[in-house]
């Protein structure tokens, strides 16, 4: 295995930024997928393309990590941040796929609020990634993402209450719960990204 002896690997920052921008695209696809009258199968195909693109960026980061001798911050943190970003993408793609596979034409209104949380978290994450170079002006990012995740938790609990209210038949409850669980996993994963960024910033300060 060849080890690079360059002072610092700036390409990591670009790869993290690309990965976060891909999450913005995916979150906006989710907005479209849950909209009435959308071509969900076509949108789900675009989401799968996003997921593949995300995997490619994650693999690129891991390969760079294996080849680099000196890294911009701890190797463990680079691995964790790449994995967290990948977890967000996987959860959003899973939700998209389940909506299409289960043919869920009418979703509870609070699902829209779940997706709004994800879209905002994606935008904040994409704005934060370039700031890893300087490690400055990041605290507002992780504070806001944590606030959004708490908001998402409240929405998730309301959705569970609605699903188990008796309004839906048992099979529909099972299908919808898988979707809202996947969306909740995505919100949790965004928080994990923010917590990792906070940990990196504290170590580098």
Residue 2 placed within a domain: no
Residue 192 placed within a domain: yes
Residue 48 placed within a domain: yes
Residue 159 placed within a domain: yes
CA-nearest of 128, 126, 133, 129 to 10 is 133
What is the chain's Cα-based Rg?
18
pTM of the model: 0.92
Residue 129 placed within a domain: yes
Domain membership of residue 154 as a residue range? 7-202
The confidence score (pLDDT) of residue 9 equals 62
Contact 30, 115 (CB under 8 A): yes
CA dist 32 and 93 (Å) reads: 13
Residue 124 placed within a domain: yes
pLDDT higher at 30 or 10: 30
Q: How many structural domains are present in the chain?
A: 1
Q: Give the domain CATH number at 195.
A: 1.20.58.220
CA dist 1 and 20 (Å) reads: 29
Spatial CB neighbours of 181, under 8 Å, sequence gap ≥ 6: none
Give the pLDDT mean for 35-41: 91
Give the pLDDT mean for 114-120: 98
Confidence class for position 77, pLDDT limits 50, 70, 90: very high
Alpha carbon distances (Å) from 44 to 37, 121, 136, 142, 152: 14, 21, 36, 29, 23
Residue 142 placed within a domain: yes
Residue 1 placed within a domain: no
């Amino acid at each position: 295995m060849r080890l690079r002896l360059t002072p610092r690997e700036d390409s990591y920052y670009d790869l993290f930024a690309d990965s976060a921008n891909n999450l913005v695209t995916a979150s906006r696809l989710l907005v479209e997928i849950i909209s009435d009258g959308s071509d969900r199968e076509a949108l789900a195909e675009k989401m799968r393309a996003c997921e593949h693109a995300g995997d490619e960026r994650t693999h690129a980061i891991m390969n760079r990590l294996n080849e680099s001798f000196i890294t911009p911050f701890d190797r463990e943190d680079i691995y964790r941040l790449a994995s967290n970003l990948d977890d967000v993408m996987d959860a959003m793609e899973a939700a998209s796929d389940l909506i299409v596979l289960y043919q869920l034409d009418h979703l509870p209104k609070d699902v829209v609020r779940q997706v709004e949380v994800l879209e905002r978290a994606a935008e904040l994450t994409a704005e934060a990634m370039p700031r890893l170079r300087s490690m400055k002006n990041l605290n507002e990012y992780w504070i806001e993402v944590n606030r959004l995740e708490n908001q998402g938790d409240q929405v998730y609990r309301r959705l569970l209450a609605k699903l188990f209210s008796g309004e839906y038949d048992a099979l529909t409850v099972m299908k919808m719960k898988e979707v809202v669980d996947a969306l909740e996993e995505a919100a949790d994963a965004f928080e994990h990204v923010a917590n990792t960024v906070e940990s990196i910033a504290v170590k580098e300060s």
